[in-house]
Amino acid sequence: MFKWYQVAIGAFLISGIVSASVPVQAQELAEVAAKADEAALAGHNAWMLTSCALVLFMTAPGLAMFYGGLVRSKNVLSIMMQCLFLMGLMTILWALYGYSLSFGGDGPYIGNSDYLFMKNVERTWDEATKAPIEPMAGAIPRYTHMLFQGMFFIITPALICGAFAERMKFSAMVVFSILWGTLVYCPLCHWVWGGGILAFGSDHGLQGGALDFAGGTVVHISSGVSALICALLLGKRKGFGTSDLRPHNLTYTILGAAMLWVGWFGFNAGSELASDGLTSSAFAVTHFSAAAGVLGWAFYEWITNGKPSVLGAASGAVAGLVCITPAAGFVNPMPAILMGAAAGVVCALACGKLKNSFGYDDSLDAFGVHGVGGTLGAILTGVFATRACWNIAEGEPLGMLEGGNVMPGQLTAIVVTWVFSIVATLIILKIVDVAIGLRVDENSEVRGLDLTEHGEEGYIFV
Amino acid sequence: MKKIEAVLRHFKLEDVKNALSEIGVAGMTITEVRGFGRQKGHTETYRGTEYAVDFVPKVKLEIAVAEDRAQTVIDTIIRTAQTGQIGDGKIFVSDLTETIRIRTGETGNGAL
């Protein structure tokens, strides 16, 4: 047994250790927590900046090569220039006011001036703390959020260029893109992602709002439907249906499609706006859907035409990617495979049968792939979305398959986006037509836009 | 002198060139050409849109030879370029009035 003085000494020592260690442990814990926060921020930000680069990679070289190969050799520079120029033009608009109109405030219809000219985005000096202030957007710096969303603002009008390729004036394309980006993209982006009338779970959300993880509505339906209007209003290319309008370099197109596939991981998995478990899920389903899209389109052609075309396989990959875009954060892998395969077949039908039946000249099938694929994806998101991926409705089931009720919101968003895109694009095109004219003259179209619009040739073998 | 123009399948060119070299043909000119005969063209399909391609890519071989060598050259080309299928090509033979070697100014058979 311990003697009384041994117990007293022991108690004295223990009390001393405890009283000394409590503040030390708390301080250490705070330091560990701060370091963990810092590490998490660094991890999220690293992935998101990578995603920014991946999404920009989709416009050029990705889309530029994908589209560049599909036009005739006399127009290869013109379509690549449209992609490249939009990387410049849309970025500046985004910095000046686009980001603010899209993500400023949470009003129902349009953003506010919170981020005009990068106000509240850029770092500022704080006299009180004698340190710079870094504005944040959730887990990442607002700079990163602005950049990531800006890449979407670039590629969306670039997708439309596929519809009026080989015949639209460059100047008309520039004015159209400014107006379309400002009057169609920014409001739509705000409606879906900025807390507006199509945002899921917001006070303003029509029919509860729409699930659109990475841009099925904002990017693909809007650009695809607008593309169809462009094709209809501009009319067919000279020689459509009679002359040889074959793609001049399918090897470009295949490489471009492969680049789009790679870039789409940033597009979809980046749309989690962080690097976590859902990011991995979005990455996986994006990959699976693209893979199934290749098979869907190729097997459809194999069965109906006797040969699986290379262009069909590449187009199938893009169709699968488009279709999974709204669903990327909401569906599991097996539904993703179904969605990709369905998109491959449905988009192949849209580009082949539908276009030929109605006789419109959507030169590079911007509507057939993005409009149709995006709409299909938005509908199937309403079917397959599961709270097991993203518990966005706080425990309530989402898609029809798990007994949820998001479909009315999905369909409402689709109808609103279709109607808005059609009406706004028609008005914009009419204005541009009256002001400067939409289409190059016949002689320019025959000689090719590379020479007549840019004074250069794509291929000079001397 | 004769000028022999032979329109051939691409993949037969190497065989024809080697065979002609073996019988002593010293030079030839090659051109990438497009055309059709009985073979007609083919159909290509791009996203459901069909294009009839009438002009098929071929390679054209041009040789100038002395008159007494012409038949040997023709026979060699036929022997090496023939597959028996439609699309093997054609040989055109015409009289050649003059040949001049630019380096020396030689003319006639001596310039071949």
> What domains can be seen in chain A, in order of their start residue?
4-454 (1.10.3430.10)
Q: How far apart are CA A119 and CA B97, in angstroms?
A: 83
pLDDT tens readout for residues A308-320: 999 999 999 999 9
Instruction: Classify A268 in phi/psi space as left (phi over 0), alpha (psi -120 to 50) or beta.
Output: alpha
Question: Cα B19–B56–B7 angle (5° rounding)?
Answer: 30
The token pair at A411 is 């369909």
Taking the CA of residue A304 and the nearest CA in chain B, the distance in Å comes to: 10
B15 lies in which domain range?
Answer: 2-111
Expressed in angstroms, the distance from the first to the final Cα of chain B is: 9
pLDDT tens readout for residues A109-159: 999 999 999 999 999 999 999 999 999 999 899 999 999 999 999 999 999
B44/A246 touch (CB, cutoff 8 Å), yes or no: yes
Nearest to B51 among A246, A352, A368 (CB): A246
Contacts of A368 in chain B (CB under 8 A): 47
pLDDT tens readout for residues A381-437: 999 999 999 999 999 999 999 999 999 999 999 999 999 999 999 999 999 999 999
B48/A356 touch (CB, cutoff 8 Å), yes or no: yes
A65 has a pLDDT exceeding 60: yes
With both helix axes pointing from N to C terminus, report the angle between A407-435 and A222-234 in degrees, rounded to the nearest 10: 40
pLDDT tens readout for residues A67-108: 999 999 999 999 999 999 999 999 999 999 999 999 999 999
- The pLDDT confidence band at residue A194, using thresholds 50, 70 and 90, is very high
Where helices occur in A195-276 by DSSP H, the ranges are: 222-234, 250-269
User: What pLDDT, on the 0 to 100 scale, is given for residue A19?
Assistant: 54
The token pair at B101 is 């070697």
Largest CA distance in chain B: 59
Residue with tokens 């020479």: A451
Residue with tokens 């070697």: B101
Burial environment of residue A426 by CB neighbours within 10 A (0 to 12, 13 to 18, 19 or more): middle
A21 has a pLDDT exceeding 60: no
pLDDT tens readout for residues A156-176: 999 999 999 999 999 999 999
Question: How many separate domains does chain B show?
Answer: 1
* Regions of chain B with pLDDT less than 70: none
A15 has a pLDDT exceeding 70: no
The token pair at A459 is 């291929």
Question: Cα A121–A124–A125 angle (5° rounding)?
Answer: 170
User: What pLDDT, on the 0 to 100 scale, is given for residue B41?
Assistant: 84
In this structure, are strands B2-8 and B29-35 parallel, antiparallel, or unpaired? unpaired
Contacts of B55 in chain A (CB under 8 A): none
pLDDT tens readout for residues A209-243: 999 999 999 999 999 999 999 999 999 999 998 99
A22 has a pLDDT exceeding 60: no
Residue with tokens 């100038």: B64
Q: For chain B, list residues whose CB is within 8 angstroms of any CB belonging to chain A.
A: 44-49, 51, 53
> Nearest-CA residue of chain B relative to A356?
B49
Taking the CA of residue A352 and the nearest CA in chain B, the distance in Å comes to: 4
Helix, strand or coil, per DSSP, at residue A170: helix
- The pLDDT confidence band at residue A33, using thresholds 50, 70 and 90, is confident
Interface membership of A308 toward B (CB under 8 Å): no
What value does the mean pLDDT of chain A take?
A: 95
In this structure, are strands A131-133 and A124-126 parallel, antiparallel, or unpaired? antiparallel
Query: Strand runs (DSSP E) across A1-128, as ranges?
Result: 124-126
User: What pLDDT, on the 0 to 100 scale, is given for residue A1?
Assistant: 45
User: What pLDDT, on the 0 to 100 scale, is given for residue A314?
Assistant: 98
CATH for B30: 3.30.70.120
pLDDT tens readout for residues A246-294: 999 999 999 999 999 999 999 999 999 999 999 999 999 999 999 999 9
A351/B53 touch (CB, cutoff 8 Å), yes or no: no
Give the CA distances from residue A383 to residues A285, A303, A379, A380, in Å, rounded to whole numbers and listed in that order: 15, 28, 7, 5
User: What pLDDT, on the 0 to 100 scale, is given for residue A4?
Assistant: 54
Expressed in angstroms, the distance from the first to the final Cα of chain A is: 103
Looking at chain A, the whole-number percentage of residues with pLDDT higher than 70 is 95
Q: How far apart are CA A167 and CA A84, in angstroms?
A: 18
Nearest to B49 among A301, A315, A356 (CB): A356
User: What pLDDT, on the 0 to 100 scale, is given for residue A29?
Assistant: 86
B49/A352 touch (CB, cutoff 8 Å), yes or no: yes
User: What pLDDT, on the 0 to 100 scale, is given for residue A31?
Assistant: 86
Q: How far apart are CA A385 and CA A327, in angstroms?
A: 7
Q: How far apart are CA B38 and CA A137, in angstroms?
A: 69
Continuous segment of H or E residues that includes residue A318: helix A310-324
Taking the CA of residue B13 and the nearest CA in chain A, the distance in Å comes to: 24
Looking at chain A, the whole-number percentage of residues with pLDDT higher than 90 is 89
Q: From the centroid of its chain, how far is CA A247?
A: 26
User: What pLDDT, on the 0 to 100 scale, is given for residue A14?
Assistant: 58
Whats the size of chain A, residue-wise?
Answer: 462
